[in-house]
Amino acid sequence: MEIADGPLSDIRVLELGHVIAAPMSGALLADFGADVIKIERPGQGDMMRELGAKGRDGVGVWWKTIARNKKLLSLDWKTDEGRKVLRRLVESAQVLSENFRPGVLERAGLTADVLHDWNPDLVILRISGYGQFGPHSSLPGFGRAGEAMSGLVDLTGFADNAPMHPGFPAADSTTGLMGAFGVLAALHAIQTGQARGQVIDLAIYEPLLRLIDYHIPTRTGADLLTRRNGLQQPNSFVPAGVFRARDGKWITVSSASAATARRLLAAAGGQDWADEPRFQNLAGFAEHTDEIMDRLSGFVAQYDAADVIVHFQSHDAVAALVYNADDILSDPHIEARENIVSIAGEDTKVVGPVPRLEQTPGRVRWLGKAEIGADSRAVLTDLGLDEAAITKLLKAGIIADPSN
């Protein structure tokens, strides 16, 4: 089998998870060399294979990126023989990840105690809608429910209209990111002798709750309820917004202080307007928000987007094009930083590993493979099973291999 390289190449991850949250965690670890073995049931692949658009080869492009760099094992681990294989895998691994509803593993006889009996140093990442305990723990919880519970949806949109979800699965994706962080922290605890294997209990709403960060201290420390504020940040006192340029493209402008806000005003309405006494403190900007927004909108509408950005930059004011996918793919800065990567023989391009490590960078070695169980034979051979044992499992339907 191919030997993974990268700073995490000594880590084997067993991915029992499905759809986005746990698989995103696995993909992030795999980008930096972790040997991630994704386990799917024979004939019943991860539903991510079917979500979203299909490439010219008929394979889901979202699947290609979330299953990238992973080996695919098709195994029915709920059978007695499949459980024996799973045990051998657990004994060889450092991490197991799953995102079933609480109780699924327990009903299959795979409690944390059982898994730690098999491997005392196993880090178990458990992702669920509401966590492994608490009044809501038994309820099904998808990403949108997590976005709502975190406060993100309440903070997004216009004050006089419905709250909005973001345009990507924010709760699931950030849970994957936080899960990968938790895995590395737990592995470090083992290395430093602080702990042995442990369970990471992660609810889907918790990462966004943590990353929003300011709404809870604002409410408890300042007795203010943070409210959605349209195109500006909630509780913002300086101008910001999104405006349409003459060529139909959209420009976002922002400021972070009275000084940077005055530079924005100078760019759009001249220095005399920016120097008016009412704009010498934050309260003045808040009081005259409508006037500022109208003037910024009118200015931007007179020019093409590229000219607007150059003009604002000449005043040291922040303005940027609102990118769509084509803008991202054509941007020379993004190209220079190699943020988008290609794989030989693939039409599908994907976002490269983040963050950039100077000496041990991550890389995309392959995209998610089309066949369920594409690496079953190789994984089991590496595990020490001989051909007769593999053939027996194949005939019993406990594993699947596309070559058979």
The residue with tokens 């903070």 is 155
Residue type, 252: T
**281 phi, psi to nearest 5 deg:** -145, 165
Cβ-based neighbours of 46, under 8 Å, separated by 6 or more: 18, 19, 23, 38, 40, 63, 67
C-beta of residue 143 within 8 angstroms of C-beta of residue 208: no
CA distance linking residue 156 with residue 218, whole number of Å = 17
DSSP code for 17: -
| Span 80-94, pLDDT tens digits | 999 999 999 999 999
pLDDT of residue 51: 92
Sign of CA dihedral 157, 161, 163, 169: negative
How many Cα atoms are found within 13 Å in the side-chain-facing hemisphere of 25?
32
Tokens (6 digits) for 103: 């109780």
CA distance linking residue 270 with residue 304, whole number of Å = 19
For the chain, list the domains and their CATH numbers. Answer: 12-212+346-400 (3.40.50.10540), 241-329 (3.30.1540.10)
| Span 138-189, pLDDT tens digits | 988 889 999 999 999 999 998 899 999 999 999 999 999 999 999 999 999 9
Cβ-based neighbours of 170, under 8 Å, separated by 6 or more: 143, 147, 152, 208
How many Cα atoms are found within 13 Å in the side-chain-facing hemisphere of 366?
14
Instruction: Please state, as a whole number, how many other Cβ atoms lie within 10 Å of the Cβ of residue 222.
Output: 10
C-beta of residue 368 within 8 angstroms of C-beta of residue 65: yes
DSSP, collapsed to helix, strand or coil, labels residue 57 as coil
The residue with tokens 């962080």 is 181
The contacts found for 49-56 with CB under 8 angstroms, 24 or more apart, are: 51/19, 55/347, 55/348, 56/347
C-beta of residue 98 within 8 angstroms of C-beta of residue 83: no
User: What is the secondary structure of 268-334 as a DSSP string?
Assistant: HH-HHHHTSGGGSSHHHHHHTHHHHHHHHHHHHHTS-HHHHHHHHHHTT-EEEE---HHHHHH-HHH
Along the 404 residues of the chain, how does pLDDT read in single tens digits? 344 489 999 999 999 999 999 999 999 999 999 999 999 999 889 999 999 999 999 999 999 999 999 999 999 999 999 999 999 999 999 999 999 999 999 999 999 999 999 999 999 999 999 999 999 999 888 899 999 999 999 999 988 999 999 999 999 999 999 999 999 999 999 999 999 999 999 999 999 999 999 999 999 999 989 888 877 776 666 788 899 999 999 999 988 888 888 999 999 999 999 999 999 887 888 888 889 989 999 999 999 999 999 999 999 998 999 999 999 999 999 999 999 999 999 999 999 999 999 999 999 999 999 999 999 999 999 999 999 999 999 999 999 999 87
CA distance linking residue 354 with residue 177, whole number of Å = 11
From the candidates 35, 46, 172, 401, give the one annotated as an active-site residue: 172
CA distance linking residue 176 with residue 382, whole number of Å = 28
Q: What is the pTM of this model?
A: 0.93
CA distance linking residue 152 with residue 205, whole number of Å = 10
CA distance linking residue 161 with residue 203, whole number of Å = 29
User: What is the secondary structure of 130-174 as a DSSP string?
Assistant: S-SSSTTTTS---HHHHHHHHTTTTTSS-TTS-----SS-HHHHH
- In 173-189, which positions are buried (b, 16+ CB within 10 angstroms) versus exposed (e)? bbbbbbbbebbbebbee
pLDDT of residue 237: 67
160 is catalytic: no
Tokens (6 digits) for 96: 């197991």
